[in-house]
Structure 1
């Protein structure tokens, strides 16, 4: 089952490409020094974000609209596929002053 889950983003990207839509891209947002790194400027539905926690503290990447909640123990990574267009504000549940914003295009 794990192998199938890893293939789903690739299969989704291939289906989109066959319809004349650009392939999905992978991006990384790194947490270091109790701050989220800059999110990508050209983010689209179907793109994958790898959240990487380089801190010694546990963090989350949690959408204020509850559309995602990625738990990130120290020195770990979490992946998500962007599912909706629009502006999505996010924060760390453990450190609410840590905030960011995703601007997602269709």
Structure 2
């Protein structure tokens, strides 16, 4: 019972419970063979979520190939942003589809 009370206290953010940063989700549409918006600014710990509204598959692929999210038509995919910096990305299937994520502290 004591463990349950501690878990509830942590979940509710009661005084004395550890603070865990909660990131936000930044949506990006894949529509008309383009990313909308083309550039976003997020913070470390935030998640970027791509929503493919086209009838073809797309990817969000870091230009340095450090990560890739492959997204089928009508589906979505996510990636947590864990490091400060600028990330340029493309669709591997449609290289003219480009975007930028700026990750701030």
The whole-number CA distance in structure 2 between the counterparts of 1:49 and 1:57 is: 20
Q: Partner residue of 1:89? A: 88
CA apart distance, 1:67: 2.8
Task: Look at both structures and tell me which one has the larger radius of gyration over its CA atoms.
Answer: 2
Q: Partner residue of 1:15? A: 20
Specify every segment of 5 or more residues in structure 1 that has no aligned partner in the other structure, as ranges: 1-13, 17-22
Large movers: runs of 4+ above 3 Å: none
1:99 and 2:102 are equivalent in the alignment: no
The whole-number CA distance in structure 2 between the counterparts of 1:77 and 1:65 is: 22
How many residue pairs get aligned? The number is: 87
RMSD between superposed Cα atoms in Å: 1.6
The whole-number CA distance in structure 2 between the counterparts of 1:101 and 1:27 is: 13
* Per-residue deviation, residues 43-84 of structure 1 (Å, max 9, x unmatched): 011001111000001100000122320001111101111121
Give the TM-score normalised by structure 1. Answer: 0.75
